[in-house]
Chains A and B, each alone.
Chain A
Amino acid sequence: MTSSSVTTRAVATQRQWLAPLIWFILLLSLAAGMSQLEWLFRLLEPELRQVIYRRGDFLALLGRHVLVVAIASLLAVILGVGAAVAVTREAGRDFLPLVAQLASIGQTFPPVAVLALAVPALGFGTLPIIVALLLYGLLPIVRNTLAGIGSIDPDVHEAARGMGMTPRQILRQVELPLAAPFILAGIRTSVTINIATAALGATVGASNLGDPIISGIVNGNTAYIVQGALLIGLLSLTVDSIFERLQRRP
Chain B
Amino acid sequence: MIELFDVTKRFGDETAVNAISLRVAKGELCALVGTSGCGKSTTLRMINRLIEHDGGEIHLDGEPVRSFDEVTLRRRIGYVIQSTGLFPHWTVSRNIGLVPRLLKWPKERVRDRVEELMQLLGLPVAEFADKYPRQLSGGQAQRVGVARALAADPDILLMDEPFGALDPITRATLQDEMRALQARLHKTIVFVTHDMDEALALADRLVVMHQGRIVQQGSPIDLLHEPANPFVESLLGGLDRGLKEAALIQVGERMLPFGPRLLASERIPYGASLSQALSVMLWHRVDRLTVVDEEDIPIGELSLRRLLGAKAP
Contact = CB atoms under 8 A, between A and B. Distances in A.
B75 to A, nearest CB: 4
Contact count band on A: 10 to 19
Interface stretch (A82-90, A154-162, A199-207): A154-162
A156 B87 contact: yes
A139 to B, nearest CB: 27
Tell me the interface secondary structure of chain B in the complex: mixed
B193 interface: no
Contacts of A163: 74-75, 79, 98-99, 102, 148
A178 B132 CA distance: 14
A153 B82 CA distance: 13
24 contacts: A153-B83, A155-B81, A155-B83, A155-B84, A155-B85, A156-B85, A156-B87, A159-B79, A160-B85, A161-B50, A161-B74, A162-B48, A162-B79, A163-B74, A163-B99, A164-B74, A164-B99, A164-B102, A165-B98, A166-B71, A169-B102, A174-B87, A178-B87, A178-B89
Please name the 5 residue pairs, one residue from A and one from B, whose CB atoms are nearest each other, closest first: A159-B85, A164-B75, A164-B74, A162-B79, A155-B83
Contacts of B74: 161-164
A177 interface: yes
B248 interface: no
A165 B102 contact: yes
Interface string B141-171: 0000000100000000010000000000000
A162 B156 CA distance: 13
Contacts of A169: 102
Contacts of B99: 163-164
A172 to B, nearest CB: 12
Tell me the interface secondary structure of chain A in the complex: helix
Given A153-B88, A158-B81, A174-B87, 18 more contacts: A155-B83, A155-B84, A156-B86, A156-B87, A156-B88, A159-B81, A159-B84, A161-B50, A162-B48, A162-B158, A163-B75, A163-B102, A164-B72, A164-B75, A164-B102, A165-B71, A165-B98, A166-B71
Central interface residue in A153, A161, A162, A178, by most chain B CB within 10 Å: A162
Interface in B79-126: 79, 81, 83-89, 98-99, 102
A165 B79 CA distance: 12
A9 to B, nearest CB: 16
Contacts of B72: 164
Contacts of B75: 163-164
Contacts of A165: 71, 98, 102
Contacts of B85: 153, 155-156, 158-160, 162
B4 to A, nearest CB: 18
B249 interface: no
Nearest to A167: B71
B299 interface: no
A178 B86 CA distance: 12
Contacts of A156: 85-88
Nearest to A162: B79
A145 to B, nearest CB: 17
Contacts of A178: 87-89
Interface string A189-208: 00000000000000000000
B144 to A, nearest CB: 11
A123 B50 CA distance: 53
B60 interface: no
Contacts of B102: 163-165, 169
B256 interface: no
Nearest to B145: A159
Contacts of B280: none
Central interface residue in B76, B85, B98, by most chain A CB within 10 Å: B85
Contacts of A177: 89
B76 to A, nearest CB: 8
A178 B90 CA distance: 10
Contacts of B89: 177-178
A69 to B, nearest CB: 30
A177 B50 CA distance: 23
B73 interface: yes
Contacts of A160: 85, 87
